Amino acid sequence: MTVVAGVEETADEALLRGVSEVHRLGAEMVRAMGFGGVCPGGRAVAIPRGVPFSLVEGAPCHSGEVAGVNLTGVRGCEPTIYETNAGAFVSLIEDSHARRVAVTGISAEGLWADPGQQAAETFRQAESALGLVGMTFRDVYRTWLFLDDILSWYDDLNRVRSQFFHDRGVFDGMVPASTGIGAANPRGAAITMDLLAMVPLDDTVSVQAIPSPLQCPALEYGSSFSRAVEVTEPDLRSLLVSGTASIEPGGGTIYGDDVVAQVDRTLDVIEAILTSRDMDWGDVTRAVAYFRYAADAGAIDEPWRNRGGHRDRLIVTESTICRDDLLFELEIDAVRVGVR
């Protein structure tokens, strides 16, 4: 679920409101991700006990201190939560169909190292966290990578990630969907990571990469992620679309100086992915819009409304995109119930 924070709402209040709603719905917390100042209000966020929570820099495009919080809960079974020696949280959910894992707040311990070295350690920390529950990175289907000062070392991140994927055999299977965005974190690490992984236990559950009809595979220009992935379960399909921007089929940026055109192009690209999976904007359950400049945030309002998106499921933040000519990026999740 999504909590879009009000102007007067603190990060603590937004998180507590979301956790309370998850519990009101009879669910147990699995993970939460907040977007705001890395030390909102000049103090640490008070995190409810037992809530795996990561906070990244995603300044609200209003005068408040937090843009919003994404939360994931589960009903019908209680997650088992582990904390790693490096401070990440591993939430394990098991039923007769699959073992599912969310890992929250992964970062390097050696914060004195350069960003590329920290990235390599962060992937190793993720691997260790997965090992606690008998999984490997080949079971991962979605990642979020938040890079401090992204424009100065994004190419290094891509080299580190591709080498790790090669060494661990990820390219031999499904490459995860991903978001890579410029965002600092309270620890002062060069990079933090969250991820989702799953091991199906029977043939009613599957995960597959989904191509983008209007864009080339990101692998073709050196970024090791899938445009989207789809998880099929007995009673629903979930589509997780990677961070998507105004990139043409050959991999180059288009409409580099026009944020309105970039928003429209990005929505066109995501809509084509939704349509290819027999979904539409009404199926979107979670979305995060990243704007390079807060003053441009209004560019999403009318096209989002006109396409049928639910505004209460959209968090809008000010964040740095991975190219200096990109002004906007959008990620979404969508769910279609009862259709296989």
Question: What digits encode the pLDDT tens for the residues 208-252?
Answer: 999 999 999 988 888 899 999 999 999 899 999 999 999 999 899
- 249 and 336, same domain (yes or no): yes
- 208 and 338, same domain (yes or no): yes
Average pLDDT over residues 80-96: 94
- 198 and 100, same domain (yes or no): yes
Name which residue leads in pLDDT, 33 or 59: 33
Q: State which of 30, 52, 75 marks the end of a domain.
A: 75
Q: State which of 57, 75, 93 marks the end of a domain.
A: 75
What's the pLDDT at 340?
Answer: 55
Q: State which of 176, 202, 228 marks the end of a domain.
A: 202
**Residue 82 CA from chain centroid, whole number:** 21
- 71 and 109, same domain (yes or no): no
- 109 and 179, same domain (yes or no): yes
Q: How far apart are CA 313 and CA 22, in angstroms?
A: 15
- 28 and 121, same domain (yes or no): no
Compute the mean pLDDT over every residue in the chain, rounded to the nearest whole number. Answer: 93
Residue 307 phi/psi, 5° resolution? Answer: -90, -5
pLDDT at residue 339 tops 70? no
How many separate domains does the chain show? 3
Residue 55 phi/psi, 5° resolution? Answer: -115, 125
For the stretch 142-184, pLDDT in tens is: 999 999 999 999 999 999 999 999 999 999 999 999 999 999 9
- 217 and 198, same domain (yes or no): no
Q: How far apart are CA 178 and CA 116, in angstroms?
A: 18
Which residues does 289 contact at the CB level (< 8 Å), separation at least 6?
297, 300, 314, 315, 316, 317, 328, 329, 330
- 116 and 146, same domain (yes or no): yes
What's the pLDDT at 12?
Answer: 86
For the stretch 325-334, pLDDT in tens is: 999 999 999 9
| Among 6-20, 79-93, 97-111, 130-144, the least confident range | 6-20
Longest dimension (CA), the chain: 51
pLDDT at residue 272 tops 90? yes
- 192 and 212, same domain (yes or no): no
CATH number at residue 274: 3.30.1330.40
- 213 and 336, same domain (yes or no): yes
What's the pLDDT at 257?
Answer: 87
The token pair at 278 is: 């027999």
- 192 and 229, same domain (yes or no): no
Name which residue leads in pLDDT, 26 or 58: 26
**Binning pLDDT at 50, 70 and 90, where does residue 318 land?**
very high
Q: How far apart are CA 94 and CA 74, in angstroms?
A: 11
Average pLDDT over residues 117-124: 98
Q: With beta carbons less than 8 A apart as the criterion, state whether 248 and 254 touch.
A: yes
Range of the domain at 27: 1-75
- 214 and 327, same domain (yes or no): yes
